[in-house]
Structure 1
Amino acid sequence: MLWEGIKSLYAYLAVIPVIPFLLIYYGYSFFSDDRKKAFRLAMDITTGLLIGCVAVLFNHLFNGSFGLYGIMLVMLIGGGLLGNAQFRKRGKVDAAKVIRAVWRLSFFMMSVLYVVLMAVAVGKSIFFQA
């Protein structure tokens, strides 16, 4: 029962990720005056919603089940590339910085993919009804 409620809440929030982003941003910035930290917190939380939504959209549009695995693969490759660049420049790898950078870059990548895949899915459902 509790698990079904959590899944339903996640599904509702992930469908339109702009709403939880704005709720978190304005809610946190209301209690603290640090808008930069509020933006980063909203971005970090919304990334998890966007990853799930983009994976489902990808699976739906291409009739597959590789969406989440493909996203994780791209994130791991990005982390490897960033870690390698950091090692070459500084001689050591700060894993926390690499993970944070990959997570925040994923927000922007997932945002673009969300808009594109949602537009394609809506267009497909309107123009190519089976």
Structure 2
Amino acid sequence: MLFFLTSLAAIFIILPVLFYALVFYSTKYWSKNNRKAKSVAINITTFILIFSVHYLILTIWSKSLLWMIILFILLTAIVFTFVYWKTKEEIHYRKVFQGFWRLNFLLFSAIYICLLIYGAASRAVEAIMFG
């Protein structure tokens, strides 16, 4: 059972799009609400994307930069809150957190795709040069 769970976690970390689809369709099936399903899928998949970026960095450069990822998330929260405060002149914590979390989804999706392309290209170059 433990092997199955760790394998499933590894698959979702390698392919967060698969996790997004699974959460989206299961939430849509239960709630019959497309908008709610998308929101729940984005909120949950953001955690998986953060871990996916961490493990891609670990695989590519063989070092853990989790502290930098956490620092990046905190700085994003600070900047997002400041910009929200400047534009709205008051802070609604729920909206700020929701916007910040969705911004993290977009940022970590882009970082994940860039790291995936970089990792594949660097391994291909290594294989050609040293293979």
TM-score range, shorter chain: 0.7 to 0.9
User: Equivalent residues in 2 for 1:75-114 (5 A)?
Assistant: 75-114=73-112
Fraction of identical pairs, as percent = 27
Instruction: Say whether the 8 Å CA contact 1:75–1:102 is kept in structure 2.
Output: no
Distance apart, 1:81 and its partner CA = 1.7
Please state how far the C-alpha of 1:43 moved relative to its aligned partner: 0.9
Provide the residue aligned with 2:57 in structure 1: 58
Give the Cα separation in 2 of the matches to 1:109 and 1:89. Answer: 21
Change (3 A) 1:125 1:88: closer
Q: Tell me the CA shift for residue 126 of structure 1.
A: 2.4
- TM-score normalised to the size of structure 1? 0.82
Distance (Å, rounded) in 1 between the aligned partners of 2:80 and 2:121: 36
Q: Quick one: distance in 2 between partners of 1:116 and 1:108?
A: 12
The residue aligned with 2:125 is: 127
Displacement, 1:54? Answer: 0.6
TM-score by length of 2: 0.81
CA contact (8 A) 1:43 1:104 kept: yes
Matched length? 128
**CA distance in 1 between partners of 2:81 and 2:12 (Å):** 32
Structure 2: runs of 5 or more not aligned:
none
Distance 1:63 1:90, change over 3 A: same
Higher deviation after alignment, 50-59 or 94-103: 94-103
Question: Structure 2 counterpart of 1:84, which letter?
Answer: F
Q: Which moved more, 1:54-63 or 1:107-116?
A: 54-63
* Paired residues for 1:11-90 under 5 Å: 11-66=10-65, 68-90=66-88
In structure 2, the CA distance between the partners of 1:95 and 1:69, relative to structure 1 (3 Å rule), is farther
List gaps (5 residues or longer) in structure 1.
none
